[in-house]
A and B are shown apart, each in its own frame.
Chain A
Amino acid sequence: MSGFPFHSLREFIAYLDSQGRLVRNSVEVDLRGEVAAISRKIGLTDGPAVLHESIKGYPGWQLFTDGLTTRERQAWALGVEPGEIGGRVSRFLADGHKMKPRIVDDGPCKEIKLLGHHVDLIRLPVAYTGEFDVPPFISAGISNAKDPETGWQNTAVRRFQLKGRQLLNHLLLPFQQEGMIFQKWRKLGKPMPLSIVVGTDPLYYLASQLPAPPQVDEQDYWGALTGEPLEVVRSETNDILVPATAEIVIEGEVDLDERRLEGPYSEFTGYYSGVRYFPVIRVKAVTMRRDCIYQNIYNAQEPAEGGNIGYLMTEIELHRQVKAIIPELREIRILSCWGLVLAVSIDKQAVRQKAGIVKKLFMAIKSAPASQFVKTVIVVDDDIDLRNVQHILWAMGTKFQGSKDITVIDGAPGCILDPSEPWIQRGVGYTSITLLDCTEKPPPYDEPYKRGLSIPPLDAIRRVDERWRDYGFA
């Protein structure tokens, strides 16, 4: 495909425009609800990306959303066909290729520099997502922090709640890599420098979601995936490297001691997170491109861009981890909520030949590091198309008996954002995990199975495939 690799958000926007997958909206939009409602509808309809060119109360700004909402656009960002995404990224991760960024002296992201008291976050067109996330969150911020001991730079999509004209709240979790880096800065007694990138090429967003092990910078994946190094510049107030073509870079320091209430936030489950105490970022500088484009990622009840980006990467990584234990695994697809419901296909012959392999697969999935949110697993044979929910339900309808094909394990690791968790007296983060075994069971079959699948003759199906366009179908 042409266009790949995209070196900036603007290149990607131009490509989407050329493919008819961009709407340039000149109607004034309201940051309070309207931007989110448009993204919601785009998600529900597999709609195009949108560049809002007129923002109420924010003259001069443009706001871009939904660049990566669909698998088609995610594939464009990765330079592959939609059906090739999983294989391409899995091979890439298995190869372990990395390429260091190339540091350049200057870049478009420094066309405008606001330092110290000139910084005013109020002037950024930060959009609301849910009705109750007040103040709103910067939802498309990619956080970059450096390990003070080794110099390793970690890159990850985070959320940042506006808390003051030079203050942000930072959801910093102790079990995540950035949280571990923060603990090292705390030992040193120094605030943690941070650079937040808002608005950049789509591969940078996807690469930041890849599961790099500690001491591996996700930025190195960009070069390995494209075959050319990512051009980066040093931040103004710290030595963190950021893409030279970024639209906005917010630089600051994470306070070691001060905590403020973060949340509520509209989460991928479609419900809100609660309020909790998290560190604050004191913003020291903002640099940006002239006529810069603010990027927003809608994150709420699916389908939504935020979840769709994460789902893709989770599916790929979970597949890689489980395949190493169960080679008979075929495909993995998140059906809902980052894996709260997961569909998995397995080699149909293996189910017949290897006793207990479906349960072994179930246990392997929940044991994999990438399965943090997995709660309900639907296992089907590999003749079921996981992209087709009706096929999955057909397998459930015809191959599944509740009395013998359900396995439940209580007290397993869960997701604190799952509102169905029975947390009383046990604490959040525990859940029941469930296997729904919808594979065809070994013989003896009942009578209907003996006659085989009810479909037209195979040669007729083949002939129709060949002549599909002749009939007048596009």
Chain B
Amino acid sequence: MVTTVHWLTGDLTPLQQARVRMLENREWLDDNIADVQRDYANKWVAVLDRQICASADQYPRVLEAVGDRLEEAVFLRVPEGEIARPI
């Protein structure tokens, strides 16, 4: 039997909705990391709406670019070269 309470099954709060979009943006980044590495290696990137919305040498620049959509944005300093797969 499944027992639930409202805060586990009701509508998502705006912050939780933003987190859903953040996970989608990270999924996009993971799926496209090879292209992102090719174009932005050693740079900071910000991802919004499943695309790169800003790139820069310094993190504050990409942070600034996402404005009030911080909770749904994903940031990464793009690594150069092959990414390890330990297991």
Contacts and interface: CB of A to CB of B under 8 A. Distances in A.
A164 B71 contact: no
A57 B16 contact: yes
Contacts of A118: 2, 4, 9
A164 B87 contact: no
A162 B83 CA distance: 20
A58 B13 contact: yes
Given A32-B71, A57-B15, A261-B30, A134 B87 contact: no
Interface string B1-36: 111111111001111100110110011011001000
A260 B75 CA distance: 16
A278 B87 contact: yes
Contact of B16 (A111, A123, A174): A123
A261 B26 CA distance: 9
B76 interface: yes
B66 to A, nearest CB: 11
Interface centre among A32, A58, A264, A277 (most CB of B within 10 A): A277
A112 B86 contact: no
Interface in A61-95: 61
Interface in A91-120: 111-115, 118, 120
Contacts of B75: 132, 134
Contacts of A60: 5-7
Contacts of B29: 261
Contacts, number: 98
A164 B3 contact: no
B22 A135 contact: yes
A61 B79 CA distance: 36
Interface string A163-192: 111000000111000010011000000000
Contact of B4 (A58, A114, A134, A277): A114
A422 interface: no
Interface residues of B, number: 37
A91 B27 CA distance: 48
A277 B30 CA distance: 10
A59 interface: yes
Given A59-B13, A134-B26, A276-B86, A123 B7 contact: yes
Interface centre among B14, B23, B59 (most CB of A within 10 A): B23
Contact of B1 (A113, A123, A132, A164): A113
A174 B7 CA distance: 38
A290 interface: yes
Interface string A343-374: 00000000000000000000000000000000
B8 A123 contact: yes
Contact of A135 (B2, B5, B23): B23
Nearest to B84: A276
A32 B22 CA distance: 13
A206 to B, nearest CB: 27
A174 B85 CA distance: 11
A162 B3 contact: no
Contact of A277 (B15, B59, B84): B84
Interface string B30-53: 100100000000000000000000
Given A122-B12, A259-B85, A275 B3 contact: no
Given A122-B12, A290-B5, A277 B19 contact: no
28 contacts: A56-B15, A57-B13, A57-B16, A58-B7, A58-B16, A59-B13, A60-B5, A60-B6, A112-B3, A112-B8, A114-B2, A114-B8, A115-B2, A122-B20, A122-B23, A134-B26, A134-B73, A135-B74, A165-B20, A172-B87, A173-B86, A174-B86, A183-B87, A261-B29, A261-B33, A275-B79, A276-B84, A290-B5
Interface of A: 32, 56-61, 111-115, 118, 120, 122-123, 132, 134-135, 162-165, 172-174, 179, 182-183, 259-261, 264, 274-279, 290
Interface of B: 1-9, 12-16, 19-20, 22-23, 26-27, 29-30, 33, 59, 70-71, 73-77, 79, 83-87
Given A57-B16, A60-B5, A112-B3, 6 more contacts: A58-B7, A114-B2, A134-B74, A164-B27, A172-B87, A264-B76
